[in-house]
Amino acid sequence: MPPLTKRQVQEAEAEARSQRTARDPRMSDTDINNILMNGAQIALTKMARSEGYDDRLYQYAQISAFLEVSLSRGAGITDDTRDDLNQIHQQATHLYMQASRAE
């Protein structure tokens, strides 16, 4: 086998790097659904524990952002995830309104 040129070595290294960092697109469908649901659940839990108006507003905005992202078509987000996020958003709305009335 003849020795490789410097350019061939660089191209081979670049190809090896791209193969190592390439993601399996089938995994992202499940991953995005889990990330959205877990993030919204964490934000709802933090919102329930928060004592200040600004904290509740921040957590509510996070949950709203998760819901808005779920409305993207073609991102592999399932209808079940959208429905679950909508329910979490409704819970957050009720929690936010009750806490605002109490103040």
- Tell me the domain boundaries of the chain: 28-102
pLDDT-wise least confident of 7-11, 23-27, 42-46: 23-27
- Cβ(47)–Cβ(95) under 8 Å? yes
CA distance 56 to 99: 9
Is this model's pTM higher than 0.85 or not? no
Q: What is the pLDDT of residues 50-88, one digit of tens each?
A: 888 888 888 889 989 888 888 877 677 788 888 888 898
Q: How many residues does the chain have?
A: 103
